[in-house]
Structure 1
Amino acid sequence: MATYPDLPLPEDGKLAENITHFARALRKSGLPVGPGRVIDALRAVEAAGFTRREDFFHTLQAVFVSRPEERTVFAQVFRLFWRDPRYLEQMMSLMLPQIRGVQEDRAAQAAEKRAAEALLGDAPRPEPPEALPEDGPEKVEVDASATFSAEERLRTLDFEQMSTAEIAAAKRMLARLSLPVAPLPSRRSQPAGTGASIDMRRTLRASLRRGGEIAALAHKTPRTRWPNLIVLCDISGSMADYSRMVLHFVHAVANRKGQGWARVHAFTFGTRLTNITRHLRARDVDAALKSAGAQAQDWSGGTRIGASLHAFNRDWGRRVLGQGAVVLLITDGLDRDDSGQLAREVERLHLSCRRLIWINPLLRWTGFAPRAAGIRAMLPHVDCFRAGHSIASLEALGQAIAAAGDAGEKPRLLRLVAAEPWQTPAGAMAGR
């Protein structure tokens, strides 16, 4: 066990105490901060000094931040904790029911909410005003989500906008979800007491025992079999918040008995393809996703959808796509590689499976249009195009799988492409 020398801290001990409280706020916000990092932070501050606020910020960030997505949360907690005279008023305003008016950056807004909850703890939230002035300069709409049950509100909440407590509750709800599927008829048959089809082979074989006399007709009925479920999940930077929740859902489906799937195969891709099927077989979801994250080295990195699908079609297509497999492709479709290769690989994937269902979190926007070149290349070759940003959208997957004619948003988006093709490179990049 490592030992650290005594640090020459101020006599009043306020700096060490404040850094400790700051570390607790980071831990409540979701960052993996333990006592060891607090000691490292004290040593780093003692070595670097804290005469400048910028140096102090970067010193603590180097100690407490270990993943790129944690930087936004750290910056918000730091801004609200260290010497911001209005941080309490800002936090209390963040704890009010949401006021829908100005569109803000979604990642920063979610980080501010988590920082406010971590610093306020169980402090009472201020009550919203009973009425808004009629002669105000701007008319806003108050979100009345408090009138609904917490679970009903959580079902429709965007994964990226959830606080730490809401994420934990959403994971518990996802663990209860199932994805049932109907069995498929097989070309093989099995004996039946009565049926529309006569089993001539069994009938003639039975007649041989009676000297060729047919005493009764034997019947047969088709056997049924369960299809495979294949999940291809994008874990690039733009999909990180959604892919974690989707993988919790996939883990629940893979470990729930009696819902029909023969096998569940899961793959992640960012800049390369990774098979995480065996990791999801672990009963504990945290251990399963931890091992899967260690296997997938390209988490929160870039996106190469076309190259990743090429690797899947080449190395895994014939192994897992037989027996009428259903493929769930979870990605936003924002790919900077050759759109021609992407279209070819998605078409090949579509021809190799029974149904190809594309789950895209960007469909949460009402005015979504397929301007990105990657989305336009993939759209014609999928059977169904659905949103995947909330628990309710994942629950609706059962309908998409059960109904063979369910295409989701695909027909509407194809009409948009036909009306305004966005053929120029500038128009294609505008959709990104």
Structure 2
Amino acid sequence: MTTQTKARGIDTKHATPTFARNVVHFVRVLRGAGLPMSPAHAVDALDALRHLDLTRRDDVHAALAAILTGAPDEREIFDAAFALFWRDPDFEGKLRALLLPKVQGGVPPPRRNNRLADALAARAGARPNATPPPSHEEHVLRAHATFSAEERLRQRDFDTLDANEWRALRHLIRARRLPLATERTRRLKAASHGTHADLRASARQAVRAGGDWTGWKYRAPVERKLPLVLLLDISGSMSSYSRAVLYFCHALLQSRERLQVFLFGTRLTHATRALRERDPDIALAQLAAQVADWSGGTRIGATLAEFNRRWARRVLGGRATVLIVTDGLDHDASGALGEEMARLHRFAHRVVWLNPLLRYRDFAPKARGVQAMLPHVDAHFPVHNLESLEAFARGLSGAPHAAPAARALHRLSPGESRWS
């Protein structure tokens, strides 16, 4: 904390402006790290700290945690931010130490939080008192009609991204949460206007108004989100693409979408619970520790047989759509892929195949696994960069409610987003 408030008994009225700026700055850091902060949280925090002794660090920590956190998974980020922000005024040095590799010793190092590091780095670079270094060089800028860095990143193949581009991609996916498709049900809910008049509610309102029937109540159909089930290939050839799709699934689960995620390589793993973690990096680290066959071989037929036997009846109710993300290169010699795909097709309302190999315009279904899967899918989409992923999401949000009369294969060229 500031030196003006470290001594017990000092008048905190003169230290209020500086301390208030620090508290507001701390709330902004938490918002940058992903916590749902608003200006009202900063006002409540300042109001609560007026009744505390600011020299008692534990009391300040407990008060701010009670006001600024609302879920158990937010407490870990808050504790790390509090320790880093309020312990040392030189938190830039702490940030650099956080980003440096740690030496493995007898005690395991603390888990790094990339969201907190990004938030502190952004706030460190945006300090109002920071002065740029003097420069005596003259630079001539020539502006050309070029794509922005974000536009280039949207068109980059997932398999060619470096560490910094992966971090930028994660933020772009998180910022672009697209609502998925909904369908009308037979249930009705209260509405201010509509075509279904609610006679009982209108009569009760007329009795309360002394017999005035000028105000009517209505009911409208309830819309519900369609469930999605994702089967994601995590073999060696799909490593980069599956990582990007997992970031996309994490954003959907944070938006409370009805999504179930399964990973398959040589075995099947249910990954929905791990992806509910608020921090995507922690979620992927937990999955990497949980899944033993990550970046290994592929047995699509055997894993689909396990899914059809154990999970299909549980998760494929309510007109669920199945998304299969794989390149179709099956290493299983049993030849059961076609039969299991046909069984999955009977369980699901719709089967969509996301294939990174569609980025090649001369793609031809020559592999045995691809030939076995093609007759049993309703749509075939590319998924090799952020642009294709967003195009698929937009198509998914506008997908038709009813199943097509004839389930014909619809192959798309890279960049298209039409539904069959």
CA shift in 2, pair 1:412/1:401, >3 Å? closer
| Unmatched segments (≥5 aa) in structure 1 | 1-31, 38-144, 207-214, 415-432
Once residues 392 and 381 of structure 2 are traced to their aligned partners in structure 1, the CA distance between those partners, rounded to angstroms, is 8
SS in 1 for 2:362: coil
Tell me the residue number matched to 2:229.
230
Q: What's the CA shift for 1:161?
A: 1.1
CA shift in 2, pair 1:340/1:191, >3 Å? farther
Tell me the residue number matched to 1:280.
275
2:373 pairs with 1:378: yes
2:172 pairs with 1:173: yes
Deviations 1:105-128 (A, max 9, x none): xxxxxxxxxxxxxxxxxxxxxxxx
Q: Any conservation in 2 of the 1:328–1:359 contact (CA below 8 Å)?
A: yes
Once residues 34 and 385 of structure 1 are traced to their aligned partners in structure 2, the CA distance between those partners, rounded to angstroms, is 44
Tell me the residue number matched to 1:297.
292
Deviations 1:5-47 (A, max 9, x none): xxxxxxxxxxxxxxxxxxxxxxxxxxx965459xxxxxxxxxx
CA shift in 2, pair 1:233/1:368, >3 Å? same
Tell me the residue number matched to 1:365.
360
Once residues 346 and 184 of structure 1 are traced to their aligned partners in structure 2, the CA distance between those partners, rounded to angstroms, is 26
Q: What's the CA shift for 1:187?
A: 3.4
CA shift in 2, pair 1:146/1:245, >3 Å? farther
SS in 2 for 1:310: helix
CA shift in 2, pair 1:341/1:197, >3 Å? farther
Tell me the residue number matched to 1:153.
152
Tell me the residue number matched to 2:243.
244
Q: What's the CA shift for 1:165?
A: 2.0
Deviations 1:336-380 (A, max 9, x none): 325752122222222322322211111111111111111111112
Q: Any conservation in 2 of the 1:331–1:360 contact (CA below 8 Å)?
A: yes
CA shift in 2, pair 1:403/1:340, >3 Å? farther
CA shift in 2, pair 1:317/1:165, >3 Å? same
Deviations 1:295-340 (A, max 9, x none): 1110011100111111111111111111222222110011032575
Q: What amino acid does structure 1 have at the position aligned with 2:151?
A: E
Pick aligned residue for 2:340 from 336, 345, 349: 345
Q: What's the CA shift for 1:412?
A: 4.7
Q: Any conservation in 2 of the 1:358–1:384 contact (CA below 8 Å)?
A: yes
SS in 2 for 1:358: strand
Aligned-residue RMSD, C-alpha = 3.5
Once residues 193 and 160 of structure 2 are traced to their aligned partners in structure 1, the CA distance between those partners, rounded to angstroms, is 57
Once residues 219 and 152 of structure 1 are traced to their aligned partners in structure 2, the CA distance between those partners, rounded to angstroms, is 46
CA shift in 2, pair 1:339/1:177, >3 Å? farther
Tell me the residue number matched to 2:303.
308
Q: What amino acid does structure 2 have at the position aligned with 1:273?
A: L
Q: Percent same amino acid at aligned positions?
A: 47
Q: What amino acid does structure 2 have at the position aligned with 1:168?
A: R
CA shift in 2, pair 1:403/1:36, >3 Å? closer
Tell me the residue number matched to 2:126.
none
Once residues 234 and 295 of structure 1 are traced to their aligned partners in structure 2, the CA distance between those partners, rounded to angstroms, is 15
Tell me the residue number matched to 1:395.
390
Once residues 376 and 33 of structure 1 are traced to their aligned partners in structure 2, the CA distance between those partners, rounded to angstroms, is 46
Once residues 35 and 177 of structure 1 are traced to their aligned partners in structure 2, the CA distance between those partners, rounded to angstroms, is 37
Q: Any conservation in 2 of the 1:280–1:288 contact (CA below 8 Å)?
A: yes
Deviations 1:270-310 (A, max 9, x none): 00000011101110111111111111110011100111111
Once residues 376 and 188 of structure 1 are traced to their aligned partners in structure 2, the CA distance between those partners, rounded to angstroms, is 42
Once residues 185 and 412 of structure 1 are traced to their aligned partners in structure 2, the CA distance between those partners, rounded to angstroms, is 29
Matches within 5 A, 1:99-118: none
Q: Any conservation in 1 of the 2:381–2:412 contact (CA below 8 Å)?
A: no
TM-score, normalising length: structure 1: 0.54
Q: Any conservation in 2 of the 1:339–1:377 contact (CA below 8 Å)?
A: no
SS in 1 for 2:380: strand
| Unmatched segments (≥5 aa) in structure 2 | 1-99, 106-143, 205-212, 414-420
Q: What's the CA shift for 1:251?
A: 0.8
Q: What amino acid does structure 1 have at the position aligned with 2:353?
A: W
Q: Any conservation in 2 of the 1:332–1:361 contact (CA below 8 Å)?
A: yes
Once residues 220 and 171 of structure 1 are traced to their aligned partners in structure 2, the CA distance between those partners, rounded to angstroms, is 41
Once residues 245 and 271 of structure 2 are traced to their aligned partners in structure 1, the CA distance between those partners, rounded to angstroms, is 14
Matches within 5 A, 1:324-335: 324-335=319-330
Deviations 1:149-200 (A, max 9, x none): 1110010100111122222221221222223123212233446787667899
SS in 2 for 1:327: strand
CA shift in 2, pair 1:372/1:329, >3 Å? same
SS in 1 for 2:322: strand
Deviations 1:179-234 (A, max 9, x none): 3123212233446787667899x79x99xxxxxxxx9x998653322222211110
Q: Any conservation in 2 of the 1:179–1:397 contact (CA below 8 Å)?
A: no
Q: What amino acid does structure 1 have at the position aligned with 2:184?
A: P
2:318 pairs with 1:323: yes
CA shift in 2, pair 1:192/1:249, >3 Å? closer
Q: Any conservation in 2 of the 1:276–1:295 contact (CA below 8 Å)?
A: no
Once residues 35 and 336 of structure 1 are traced to their aligned partners in structure 2, the CA distance between those partners, rounded to angstroms, is 39
Matches within 5 A, 1:200-219: none
Tell me the residue number matched to 2:185.
186
Count of matched residue pairs: 262
Matches within 5 A, 1:15-94: 34-36=102-104
CA shift in 2, pair 1:34/1:412, >3 Å? same
Q: Any conservation in 2 of the 1:370–1:413 contact (CA below 8 Å)?
A: no
